[in-house]
A and B are shown apart, each in its own frame.
Chain A
Amino acid sequence: MGVATASAVVHDLDFELELVERHRCGDAQAFDEVYTRFAEMVYNLAFRLSGNCEEASDLMQEVFLRIYRHLGSFGGRSSLKTWIFRIAINHCRDRLSRWRPLTQPIGEDVEEGEVSYADPRRGPEELAVAADEGRRVTAGLARLPQTFREAVLLRDIEGLSYEEIAEVLGVRIGTVRSRIARGRDQLRALLET
């Protein structure tokens, strides 16, 4: 890690701890800032894990309620991002296991999800190909076993390092390594069929 990156991390942590302190003191804007920074990330995760926009919205509200309640206990041992991911993953696992049996494949309505692939810089044909590719990948992801789906999501879509993923999932780095590799392998096989 270079000096600039290390100092950015320290700065981020200081900023995050300041946000937490402001939240503890009742500053409502502090939580708004947390929401603005992490809403898209949490919603994306909830959507990819549930495969359904409506469930993702419900999960998102519950996750942020939980974050609101427990933000004061954030001690800065990890980054706020990994702390929030951990809460979100734990909550999604909990809720989804109640909503549907774990063996039931998810994402049946992924194809109909209101996912926007719009990018004004692309032409109509390119957009259609991208949207089709996006739908195929999303549907493939939804068919992966949950542990592999979580690892691939955190790595390839959210861009977390192996160390951060280990923190979020509460497993060793070796387990993360194996889950990502096996998840990618299974996803490739699913997309080829």
Chain B
Amino acid sequence: MNRHLSTEQLSSYLDGEIGSSKAERIEEHLDTCPACRGRLEAMERLVSGLQRVQRPSLPPDLAAAVRRRIAAAPEPYGASGPYGFLRRLQLHLSLLSEIALRPAFRTSAAMGLAILFSVFLLNNGLEHAHHTAPALDEPTTVVTVQTYFGQPPLDLPPTTSEVAGREFVWFDGRWIQRGLEGKKPESHVMAESPEGRAMLSKYADLDLLLADGTPVVLRYRLATVELSGS
């Protein structure tokens, strides 16, 4: 290695974030190049200075201020929060399965289903209107999850990583990347599969969209992919 080392090579070497064979080649170069050795030493001094910078003291009243903010906020897992909604859904489903298992009720199961489903819709339809299936001749409700502006649905936090560069809309029961509405996904990926985990690690905020169990459709490696939870 005759050329001088790049800043990136020096920086990764200093952090030990480089493969062993590359590290060996860098060390060989450093043994013979005082200029690069000097740059490495300067970088070491800088990093050591950064590590020595003391943390600011936490203002003593901050914990109380955080508690006050939380106390004033609505309960996240109470009856009106997203988990309350899921719990109610779970309760309704367990009632349905109980009815289906009793022979005496089998003939009336369809009617029971319809009634319970209606009750469920009445309970949640207004609150979660964007989750209901659209009527055929009505335009589909599109709720935009934006990076910064407006209040996203289901209390999702705004996303600002590279996922945030993509705008997702609630369309036909899924979060769909803007521009892919109505497109049939070319593949389905489970979040727990190796490929799903790779997608989540690359676009980490996707798990916020998946949190309530709905699938997410997005463009990934030049294909339209539907990602869903377990």
Q: A residues bordering B, Cβ < 8 Å? A: 24, 26, 31, 35, 39-40, 43-44, 47, 53, 56-57, 60-62, 64-66, 68-73, 75, 77-78, 86-87, 89-91, 93-94, 97-98, 113-119, 130, 133-134, 137-138, 141, 152, 155-157, 159, 161-162, 167, 169-172, 177-178, 180-182, 184-185, 187-188, 191
Which B residues are in CB contact (< 8 Å) with A138?
Answer: 53
B122 is an interface residue with CB less than 8 A from chain A: no
B209 to chain A, nearest CB (A): 10
Which B residues are in CB contact (< 8 Å) with A90?
Answer: 157-161, 164, 205
A53 to chain B, nearest CB (A): 7
Among listed B10-18, B123-131, B135-143, interface-contacting one: B10-18
Are B207 and A161 touching (Cβ within 8 A)?
no
Chain A: CB-nearest residue to B163: A170
A57 to chain B, nearest CB (A): 6
Contacts A40-B55, A170-B161 hold; do A60 and B8 have CB atoms under 8 A apart?
no
Are B52 and A134 touching (Cβ within 8 A)?
yes
Among listed B26-34, B39-47, B99-107, B178-186, interface-contacting one: B39-47
Docked Cα-Cα span, A162 to B13, in Å, equals 12
Contacts A35-B63, A137-B50 hold; do A56 and B76 have CB atoms under 8 A apart?
no
Q: Which of B19-78 contact A (CB under 8 A)?
A: 42-43, 46-47, 49-59, 62-63, 65-66, 69-70, 73, 76-77
- Chain B interface helix/strand/loop/mixed: helix
Which B residues are in CB contact (< 8 Å) with A118?
Answer: 54
Which B residues are in CB contact (< 8 Å) with A178?
Answer: 8
Are B50 and A152 touching (Cβ within 8 A)?
yes
A30 to chain B, nearest CB (A): 12
Which A residues are in CB contact (< 8 Å) with B205?
Answer: 86, 90, 170
Which A residues are in CB contact (< 8 Å) with B70?
Answer: 31, 64-65, 68
Which A residues are in CB contact (< 8 Å) with B161?
Answer: 86, 90, 169-171
Are A57 and B59 touching (Cβ within 8 A)?
yes
For the complex, count residues of B whose C-beta is within 8 A of A.
Answer: 54
Which A residues are in CB contact (< 8 Å) with B50?
Answer: 137, 141, 152, 156-157
Are A115 and B54 touching (Cβ within 8 A)?
yes
Chain A: CB-nearest residue to B12: A177
A95 to chain B, nearest CB (A): 10
Partner of A94, one of B62, B148, B155, B200: B148
Give 15 A-B pairs besides A39-B66, A43-B56 with Cβ atoms closer than 8 angstroms. Answer: A64-B69, A68-B70, A73-B211, A77-B200, A94-B147, A114-B57, A116-B54, A116-B57, A117-B54, A137-B53, A141-B50, A156-B47, A170-B164, A187-B46, A188-B42
Contacts A90-B157, A161-B17, A170-B204 hold; do A53 and B56 have CB atoms under 8 A apart?
yes
Are A181 and B17 touching (Cβ within 8 A)?
no
Contacts A39-B62, A156-B51 hold; do A185 and B157 have CB atoms under 8 A apart?
no
Chain B: CB-nearest residue to A48: B56
Are A61 and B62 touching (Cβ within 8 A)?
yes
Contacts A24-B83, A60-B66, A94-B160 hold; do A47 and B7 have CB atoms under 8 A apart?
no
- Chain A interface helix/strand/loop/mixed: helix
23 contacts between A and B (CB under 8 A): A35-B63, A39-B62, A43-B55, A43-B56, A44-B56, A47-B56, A66-B157, A68-B76, A72-B83, A78-B201, A86-B205, A90-B161, A113-B56, A138-B53, A141-B50, A157-B51, A157-B53, A161-B17, A167-B204, A169-B161, A170-B203, A171-B161, A188-B43
Which B residues are in CB contact (< 8 Å) with A157?
Answer: 50-51, 53
Chain B: CB-nearest residue to A188: B46
Are A61 and B69 touching (Cβ within 8 A)?
yes
Are B65 and A57 touching (Cβ within 8 A)?
yes
Per-residue contact bits, chain B 185-205, to A (CB 8 Å; 1 contact, 0 not): 000000000000100111111
Are A119 and B54 touching (Cβ within 8 A)?
yes
Which B residues are in CB contact (< 8 Å) with A181?
Answer: 6-8, 10-12
